[in-house]
Structure 1
Amino acid sequence: MVNVGTADRAVRAVLGLILLAVPFVPAAAAALAGMGAWIWLLPAVGVVLLLTALFRFCPAYTLLGIRTCALK
């Protein structure tokens, strides 16, 4: 089952990579230092976005009845 389209997939992949890298970039980590341990939530969300881009399936889209890809 596929419910993530090409443009959606690209956005998810780029955003996922950015969120995955945030805690490891010194300038970004310094800017978000007030988040404490919550800064590690960002890479977790990044991993989820990368996985949904990789598998072209989003469980939330299924629950909400959303489909961003063309029907085959």
Structure 2
Amino acid sequence: MKTNVGGIDKILRILVGIALIAWALFGGPVWAWIGILPLATGLMGWCPAYTLIGLNTCPLSKK
């Protein structure tokens, strides 16, 4: 897996993921557990959707 998530994108994914998971833990709707996805992609630095559409926000891995 080649890194394709970087910088601000990574930070936003992690923050949004944590916020959604916290919301789910504190009585939010069940769908808020979707926060696991942006948290995981932010921590890994790789997004499968970006790979499918050819998007890359990581300046270190661009050609």
TM-score category, normalised to shorter length: 0.7 to 0.9
Letter in 2 for 1:49: P
In structure 1, list runs of 5 or more residues that go unmatched: 30-38
Larger relative helix fraction: 1
- The structure with the larger Rg is 1
RMSD of equivalent CA atoms: 1.5
Moved over 4 A (4+): none
- Percent of pairs identical after alignment? 37
Q: May I ask how many residue pairs the two structures share in their alignment?
A: 60
Using the size of structure 1 for normalisation, the TM-score is 0.74
In structure 2, list runs of 5 or more residues that go unmatched: none
Using the size of structure 2 for normalisation, the TM-score is 0.83
